[in-house]
Amino acid sequence: MSENKLTSQATDFSAWYIEAIQKADLMDYAPVRGCIIFKPEGYELWERIQAGLDQRFKATGHRNAYFPMLIPESFLQKEKEHVEGFNPEMPWVTEAGGEKLEERLALRPTSETMIGHMYSRWIQSYRDLPVLLNQWANVFRWEKRTLPFLRTSEFLWQEGHTAHADEVEAREETMRMLETYAEFAANEMAIPMWTGQKTPSERFAGAVDTYSIEGMMKDGKALQAGTSHFLGQNFAKAFDIEFLDRDNVRKHVYTTSWGVSTRLIGALVMVHGDDKGIALPPKLAPTQVIMIPIGPPKLRAKVMEKFSLVHQELKAANIRVRTDEREETPGWKFNEWEMRGVPLRLELGPRDVDSNQCVLVRRDTGEKMSVSLQGLSDTVQDLLTAIQASMYERACEFRSLHSHLHIDTLEQLKAHIAEAEASNRLAGWVLGGWCGDDDCEGRVREETKFTSRNIPFAPPLHKEKCLACGENATHSVWMARAY
């Protein structure tokens, strides 16, 4: 942590990202292809994300379970689209206990097949439905290009898997969990998400309909941050998940699945970070307040007594506070903790002690203020609330600023992108009309590298013509370059 300067976001966003997550001590590269270590500062973000989501899953009637990580190859073969989608990405166990296995076992890329197999054993009657399970687990996708948190060979996630007696209920579940993700992202991560439906070409392998939450990163690119799938009866038919209904007829269930992953850590960094480093929303920050003593060593004793009292007071108020009493200059420490994204810095020097004050500095705005030590924990709590709200507002404003609603043709889109590149501005997102034809979507992708993100439920504007072919549009689609 000796070199306290980052590449600026404007110079090279990718370089900034890699430097920022390392200097914030969130991760390290692992000695296994495409894998990372989640270091304590990074893992604690995941623990807080887990806690917030787990509470929401349980409040909506779900329970956690754990299924085996190894999936027999024959299971994956049962749903044709599914295996085609995941096959190229899977690592295989072929030997165990000193012997060659008769059947290869895949390291799970997702668990629809394993869970589908078990549901076919557990579900017999309408009385057994709905089944509402979730699993927190590690998963594997051996992808060509990897990027810490966003795309790694092994990552951590949750996968919800539910089974229902009818389509309406399964579709409600699909939407409920999508909205749960969006609400969590807004209220805890301070990230506004567009909820909407993926186009057929971007659908989950084996799903009838896939829905996503999509967030805008600081480089204007999109990040698919979570998905919720209505699987219809595809997996029910592949795995014989049948039940005897009230009308005494055997039927296939309808299933859903939905997931978010450690990718969300990458979203936090790319949405809130700036040239000083990462910036964490108070609700998820492992450390909410960093306390730094100020002033010459000879006056330190006087400061430290008060310092320790203030520390105790904030701790007692359940504020996640940490002190930095190392032998480094205050300036060095300021940089360091800004780099690590701590929402609030508290400075206390000899003069502050005399006047019963301290200095607070906001990470998000840089605003510096002297406040009384009287009632300090309330002041700090209020400020943390204000920072959380303000980070969300800024992310919303940023998204608005870089969302383009009045680009109606592919030519206009190309011109927009060229202009952005020439003037070093962000191309951002474009809401385009779409006729529903895969070819039109493909043409946009090939000619601009803009991909369909999702078809928002509430687009800010309804488009009348397809951006690519000019025919009548059936949908308005967010298009952007994406991770």
Binding mask 409-428 for a copy of itself (x = CB under 8 A): --------------------
Binding region for a copy of itself (CB under 8 A) out of 70-78, 214-222, 306-314, 433-441:
70-78
Q: DSSP letters along 186-208, please?
A: HHTS----EEEEPPGGG--TT-S
3-class SS of residue 440 = helix
Half-sphere exposure of residue 345: CA atoms within 13 angstroms, side-chain side: 25
Is residue 67 part of the contact set for a copy of itself (CB under 8 A)?
Answer: yes
Nearest to a copy of itself of 99, 446 (CB atom): 99
Q: Are 475 and 455 in contact (CB under 8 A)?
A: yes
Q: Enter the DSSP assignment of 108.
A: P
By C-beta, is 86 or 337 nearer to a copy of itself? 86
Residue closer to a copy of itself (CB basis): 32 or 309: 32
Please state the separation of Cα 28 from the chain's center in Å.
19
**Phi, psi (rounded to 5 degrees) for 349:** -125, 175
# of chain residues touching a copy of itself (CB under 8 A): 54
Residues 95-134 that bind a copy of itself (CB under 8 A): 95-98, 104-105, 107, 114, 117-118, 121-122, 133
- Contact status: 68 vs a copy of itself (CB under 8 A): yes
**Cα angle 364, 52, 399; round to 5:** 40
Q: Please report whether residue 72 would count as binding a copy of itself according to CB under 8 A.
A: yes
Q: Figure out which of the listed residues 1, 10, 93, 415 binds a copy of itself, where binding follows CB under 8 A.
A: 93
Q: Residue 5 burial (CB < 10 Å; 0-12/13-18/19+)? A: exposed
User: Toward a copy of itself, which CB reaches closer, 15 or 37?
Assistant: 37
Query: Within the chain, what is the greatest distance between any pair of CA atoms?
Result: 86
Is 137 a binding residue for a copy of itself by CB under 8 A? The answer is yes
d(CA 6, CA 339) in angstroms, rounded, equals: 9
**Closer to a copy of itself at the Cβ: 99 or 247?**
99
Three-state SS at 161: strand
Tokens of 161: 């898997």
Least separation in angstroms between residue 448's CB and a copy of itself is: 29
| Interacting residue with a copy of itself among 81, 89, 128, 245 (CB under 8 A) | 89
DSSP SS3 for 100: strand
Contact assessment for residue 106 and residue 92, using Cβ atoms and an 8 Å cutoff: yes
- Per CB under 8 A, the list member of 4, 18, 19, 43 interacting with a copy of itself is 43
Q: Please, is 179 exposed, middle or buried when counting C-beta atoms within 10 Å of its C-beta (0-12, 13-18, 19+)?
A: middle
Shortest spacing between CB 364 and a copy of itself, in angstroms: 25
* CB closer to a copy of itself, 318 vs 365: 318
Is 28 one of the binding residues for a copy of itself (CB under 8 A)? yes
400 is an interface residue for a copy of itself by CB under 8 A? no
- Tell me, residue by residue from 150 to 169, as one string, x for binding to a copy of itself by CB under 8 A and - for no binding: ---xx-x-------------
Minimum distance, C-beta of residue 250 to a copy of itself, in the bound complex (Å):
20
For residue 307, what are its two tokens? 């310092």
CB-facing half-sphere around the CA of 144: CA atoms within 13 A: 1
What residues form DSSP beta bridges with 222? 216, 482
Taking the complex as a whole, how short is the minimal distance between the CB of residue 190 and a copy of itself, in angstroms? 24
Among 142, 202, 436, 459, binds a copy of itself (CB under 8 A): 142
Binding site for a copy of itself (CB under 8 A): 28, 30-32, 35-40, 43-44, 46-47, 63-72, 75, 87-98, 104-105, 107, 114, 117-118, 121-122, 133, 137-138, 142-144, 153-154, 156
